[in-house]
Amino acid sequence: MKPLIVANWKCSPVTLREAKRLFDSIKKGVRDVKNVEVVICPPFVYLPILGASSFARQRASYGGLALGSQNCFWEEKGAFTGEVSPVMLKDLGCEYVIIGHSERRKYFSETDSMVNKKIKIALKNDLNPILCIDKISQIKKGIKGIPKGEVKKVIVAYEPLWAIGTGMACGFKEAKKFNFSIRKILGGKNSVLYGGSVNSQNAKAYIKEAGFQGLLVGGISLKAKEFVKVVKVVA
């Protein structure tokens, strides 16, 4: 299986011009990298513009970038002011959706039961959910009530809170232990990603030494050169 490298741009960049430039630089940088699945998760507002790029839509033939969103609502449509439906995301060419990121849990009070509803609606709409956790207990709550055959489609991102945006990445041995426990709970069939201060120096070891199937990259994904390096070192 190809390593999965997910760029979480969070609430940046603040202009469309910068977003396009960043997307294009990454696209160019990873053009020849065929054996890594690269997913860009920009802010919602940029999705239709970046998704309209033929590169994103026809990526199968280019081996290029996939699009993901940083969140989605748990209903498909209706009177829910300010929310974004998974059906809309799918329609714009999104293939992945990050769910339950620690910043959503912290600043927007997302609970495990909200996260669970979002995972279910993402699966229903054929979006690959990336369930973010920093505690093992969040896994079972996140996948509650999901049939076994569907559970294996859930990608889990282990992101220790203290490692996010701090420059203090989790040690490989400790990360490996968590990876092992997560895989055990899920029956060994799911992709598990590591996230938290990933950079081009530590990226490879999470895949090769700690056995993760990919990485969730925040800060560094806003620096095209450095992000492309991350992709290349795991290729």
Residues forming the active site: 101, 159
Which range in 42-50, 111-119, 144-152, 189-197 contacts ligand PGA by CB under 6 A? 189-197
DSSP line for the chain: ---EEEEE-TT--SSHHHHHHHHHHHHHHHTT--SSEEEEE--GGGHHHHHTSHHHHTHHHHT-EEEEES---SSSSSS-TT---HHHHHHTTEEEEEES-HHHHHHS---HHHHHHHHHHHHHTT-EEEEEESSTHHHHHHTTT--HHHHTT-EEEE--GGGTTTS-PPPHHHHHHHHHHHHHHHTS-S-EEEESS--TTTHHHHHHTS--SEEEE-GGGGSHHHHHHHHHHH-
- Nearest residue to ligand PGA, scored by beta-carbon proximity: 218
Least gap, CB of 151 to ligand PGA (angstroms)? 22
Under rule CB under 6 A, which residues in 127-186 are in contact with ligand PGA? 159, 164-165
Query: Of 234, 196, 199, which is closest to residue 213 (Cα–Cα)?
Result: 234
Verify binding: residue 222, ligand PGA, rule CB under 6 A: no
The count of chain residues that interact with ligand PGA, using the rule CB under 6 A, is: 13
- CA nearest neighbour of 89 among 56, 132, 62: 56
Selected binder of ligand PGA within 68, 86, 100, 195 (CB under 6 A)? 195
Per the document, the length of the chain is 235
In this chain, which stretch among 52-60, 67-75, 84-92, 218-226 interacts with ligand PGA, using CB under 6 A? Answer: 218-226
Which position among 121, 219, 227, 230 is part of the footprint of ligand PGA (CB under 6 A)? Answer: 219
Least distance from C-beta 102 to ligand PGA, angstroms?
7
Question: Does 218 sit near ligand PGA (CB under 6 A)?
Answer: yes
42 belongs to the binding site for ligand PGA (CB under 6 A): no
Q: Is 3 in the site for ligand PGA (CB under 6 A)?
A: no
Q: Per rule CB under 6 A, is residue 13 in the interface with ligand PGA?
A: no
Taking the complex as a whole, the smallest distance from the CB of residue 159 to ligand PGA amounts, in Å, to 6
Q: Applying CB under 6 A, which of residues 5, 7, 8, 116 lies at the interface with ligand PGA? A: 8
φ, ψ of residue 103 in degrees (nearest 5): -70, -30
- Exactly one of 65, 99, 203, 216 binds ligand PGA (CB under 6 A); that residue is 216
Contact positions vs ligand PGA (CB under 6 A): 8, 159, 164-165, 195-198, 216-220
